[in-house]
Amino acid sequence: MIDDQHDEVLQGLAEAYHPPPPTPREQIWARIQAARAVPDAEPQVLPFRPGIGSPRSAVARALTWVTGVAALVATGIGLGRLIPIAGVPSPAAVTADAGATPDRVANVMGMAVRHYLSRTETLLVGVRSGDDADAFAGLARDLLGMTRLLLDSESLTDPATRTLLEDLELVLAQLVVLPSTSNPDQERSLITASLADRNVMDRLRTAIPSPLGSAPAVYGEL
C-alpha cells in the first residue's frame, strides 16, 4: 500500500526530472549541416577494420580471424559448461537452469572480459618491448572495438573494470594511429610512460583472474 502511494508520488514527480526546454531545431540542424559539409566531419570515430592492400594488413586480418574464432570457441566452451549435456537433466539442473540466466550472462561476460584483457596484456607487453608499430596496429584496432562494445554493455557493472577499460581505450586509440604519426618512437615513449604513470599493466594483471576460478559476480546484474 505504501509502495503504491510512493509509486503515485514517483509518477507525479517523474515529469520534473530534467525537464527539457524546447528543442533548438535550427541551431542543431545548422551544426549538423556544417559538420557533414567537412570531409571526415564525423566525430573522431576510428575505423574498426584494418586497411586493405598493405602486406601487413593481411597479418592484421589474420589476427582478427584467429582472435574472432578464439572468442567464439571461448563462448562455446562457456555455454557448454553451463548447459547440461545429458538428455534428461536432473530436477536440480532444471531448477538451476530456469533461474540462472543472469548468471549465465555474467559468466559469458566474465569470459569475454578475461579473454579481452589477456589479449590486451599480450599486446601491451609487445609494445613495451619495442615490437614494430605496424605489426600491432590492426590488433589494437580490433581490441579498441571490443573495448567499446564492453564499455557499452550494461552487464559490465564493476567500476574498477570500467575504469581500467576506459584507460585501455585511450591507450589502444593511441596505438591505432601510432604508425601514421610523424614521430612514432616518441609517441611510443609517451604511451609507455602513460602506461607506467597510470599503473595500467599492474591493474591489468590484477584484473585477470585465475582461469580456474569462477566468473566474478561483479559482471552480473542486468
Residues within the interface to other proteins (CB under 8 A): 2-3, 6-7, 9-11, 13-18, 20-21, 23-25, 27-29, 31-32, 35-36, 41-43, 151-152, 154, 157, 159, 163, 166, 222
**C-beta of 148: minimal distance to other proteins in Å?**
8
20 versus 55: smaller Cβ distance to other proteins: 20
28 versus 62: smaller Cβ distance to other proteins: 28
**C-beta of 35: minimal distance to other proteins in Å?**
6
Which sign, positive or negative, has the C-alpha torsion 204, 207, 210, 214?
negative
Q: How far apart are CA 218 and CA 13, in angstroms?
A: 32
12 versus 91: smaller Cβ distance to other proteins: 12
**C-beta of 2: minimal distance to other proteins in Å?**
7
Find where cell 564493476 sits: 158
**C-beta of 27: minimal distance to other proteins in Å?**
7
In total, the chain counts a number of residues equal to 222
